[in-house]
With several copies, the nearest count.
Chain A
Amino acid sequence: MKPNTEVKVGKLILKNPVVTASGTFGYGLEYSQFFDLSLLGAIVIKGLSINPKEGNPPPRIYETPCGMLNSIGLQNIGYSYFVKEKLPFLKRFDTKIIVNFFGENLREYIELAERLNDTDGVHALEMNVSCPNKNSHWRKMGLIPELLKEAVREVRKVTDKTLIIKLSPQVTDIAEMAKICEDEGADAISLINTVPAMVIDIKTRRSVIGNPVGGLSGPAIRPIALRMVWEASKVVQIPIIGIGGIITAEDALQFLIAGAKAVAVGTANFINPLSAMEVIKGIENFLITEGIKDINDLIGTVTD
C-alpha cells in the first residue's frame, strides 16, 4: 500500500513534503519541460518585490567545494508582471503556490503581503527576512530579534493565508528566532537561507562575484542547516521547512527525522532538474521499506 505522504503546513495541505526552494526553481515554467509540476508538494517562487528589481552586477555565481556562491541580488519581475504573466500558467498545476517575497523596508513588506493575500492562486506567503538592502535598518530583521518580532507581527496582521518566515542562518541562536516567529503568529518557518560567504580571485585580488559577499548553498552547508532545523524543532510547535543542500531522498529524510515537516530542494535542481522528483520517489520508497504507513510518524523521531 502506498504510504501517506500528506503533511500540513499552516493551512496548506501538501500532497508530499517536497517543495522547491525559492530562487532555484524560477517561476516553475522553466522546469515544466522536465516533469509534471503537479507532482510537487508545492512550488516556492523566486523572491518577489512590489516593483521589478534588476539584481546585482555579474558575475553572479561561483562554484565552491560542494557548494556554490550566488549574488543574484533578488532580481525579479515584480508583483504585477508575476500575476499577469506567470500565475495563470502556474494555476494549471495541481500543486500549491508559495510566493517568497521581500521589500526594501517594512512598509513594502506589509504592502506586498496585503496584495498577495488578495491574489487568487497564491496559496501561501514565504517572507524572506534576509533582505539585502544595505541602506535600510530593516535589512537586519533576520538578524536582530526585536526587528524580527515587529516585522512578523505587522505582516501577520495583513494576511490570513499561511505565513512562512524564511530565516537567516547568520544568528547565534536559531531557536530563539524561530520562537519569535511562532509567538508572533507565523504559521511555519523555513530554515535555512544561504550562508554569507566569500571567495577571492588571488590574481585580481577581488571577489569572484560582482558583490564582495554572496550566499553559500549546496551540500556543503547541509550539516549546518540540519543542526539548525533540529535546534529550532525542539522549541517550536509550528512546522519547519528544512532547506540546505538536499540532493537525495536520504538528505531529505535526515531533515524530516530531525523535525522538519517539509523540505525544499534548492541547488540540487541545477545539478539535475529531476532532483525534486527523485527525492519524492526516494522518500516513498524509504517509507515502504521501513514499513512506515504515514510520513507524519517519521517526522521528528530523532533520538539524542
Chain B
Amino acid sequence: MNKINKLKIIKNQALTDEIHLLSLKVSDPLEAKPGQFFLLKMNERYDPLLGRPLSIFDLEGDKISFLFRVKGKGTKILSKLSLGEEIQITGPFGRWYPFPQGEFAVIAGGIGIASVFYLIKKFPERAYLFYGARNLSEILFYEELKNLCKEVFISTECGRGEYKGVVTETFREKGLKLNLPIYACGPMIMIKELRKILEENQSNLQCFVAVEERMACGLGACLGCVIETTEGFKRVCTEGPVFKIDELKL
C-alpha cells in the first residue's frame, strides 16, 4: 500500500559538490524494495510544483535515505533543507529489481549507484559491482560497497581508480564472462552501450535496467512518463522503472 508520509530530515549531507545524501526519520513502518522510488515534494508552495522521483537508496530501521545529484530547481531546494524540517514523500512506487537467485552483476554509472545500492545491500556478498564515474571523487561509499560485494571494479573517465574509461568497457572485459544476471542503472548512453555489448556478444544474459523519465503522478494515472518499448509505450512509474534491456527502444 502506497502512502503519503511527512518525514523529518535527520541528515542532509553534501558528499561531493553536487551529490547529497538525505536521510529521513520513518515514523510508520515503511516497506520498499530495491529499484522502487518515492516522489519527494520539496515545499508547500507551488514552485516547484511536482514531486521529484528519487530511488530508494537505503532503508534500515527507522531511517530511509536518498542519494541525489543537484540538477535543477527541485534538487537544489532539497539540498538546502535543514535538519528537522519535514518533507512529504509518497510511495514506494514502481517495479523493483527481480530478486537475484544467486550471484549477480551490477553496473552503476554515476548517480545510478543510488538505485542499486539497496539491492546490493539486501543480497550481501553476491554482487560483482562495476561502478563508473567521471572521476574518483564521485565514487561514493567505496568501503561499504567493498564489504557488501563479492568484488568491486571501479572505472573512471579520468583514469584514476582501477580502470580507465567508461564502466561498460570494464564490464565488457571483466564482467561478461562472469555469466551472471545483470542489474544496471546509469545514464542512457551507458544503457545503450551495454545493449551493444550484449548484442555484439550474442549474450542471452538476463539484464535489468532502471530508466528515468519525467513524472507527474508517479502512480500510473497521468500517462506522462511513458517510454517506447517493443510493446509500445510503457509507463516508467508503474511498468518500470526497471525494465528488461531488450524491451527498450534505445
Contacts and interface: CB of A to CB of B under 8 A. Distances in A.
B233 interface: yes
Nearest to B236: A58
A58 B221 contact: no
Contacts of B88: 272
Interface in B200-250: 213-228, 232-233
Given A54-B232, A271-B41, A273-B90, A26 B214 contact: no
Nearest to B217: A270
B2 interface: yes
Given A26-B221, A31-B219, A273-B4, A61 B214 contact: yes
A79 interface: no
Interface stretch (B46-54, B115-123, B141-149): B46-54
Given A60-B223, A65-B47, A66-B47, A272 B228 contact: no
Given A61-B215, A65-B47, A67-B49, A269 B227 contact: no
User: B-side binding surface: helix, strand, loop or mixed?
Assistant: loop
A46 B219 CA distance: 14
A72 B49 contact: no
A5 interface: no
A82 interface: no
B219 A30 contact: yes
Interface residues of A, number: 36
Contact of A55 (B46, B49, B215, B233): B233
A228 B156 CA distance: 47
A59 interface: yes
A17 interface: no
Given A26-B220, A30-B219, A272-B4, A61 B49 contact: no
A269 B220 CA distance: 12
A58 B228 contact: yes
B49 to A, nearest CB: 6
A247 interface: yes
A31 B222 CA distance: 11
A274 interface: yes
Interface size bucket, B side?
20 to 34
A33 interface: yes
A164 B223 CA distance: 24
A301 B219 CA distance: 37
B1 interface: yes
A156 B140 CA distance: 64
Nearest to A62: B214
Contacts of A247: 46
A63 B49 contact: yes
Contacts of B2: 33-34, 273
A247 B2 CA distance: 21
B214 A30 contact: no
Contacts of B50: 63, 68, 270-271
5 contacts: A25-B221, A26-B220, A66-B49, A219-B46, A273-B217
Interface of B: 1-2, 4, 41, 46-51, 88, 90, 213-228, 232-233
- Across the A-B interface, give the 10 residue pairs with the lowest CB-CB distance, nearest first: A26-B221, A61-B224, A30-B221, A270-B216, A66-B46, A270-B217, A219-B46, A65-B46, A60-B224, A30-B220
Given A55-B223, A61-B222, A274-B4, 14 more contacts: A31-B221, A58-B225, A60-B223, A60-B225, A60-B226, A61-B224, A61-B225, A63-B48, A65-B47, A66-B46, A219-B49, A269-B217, A270-B51, A273-B217
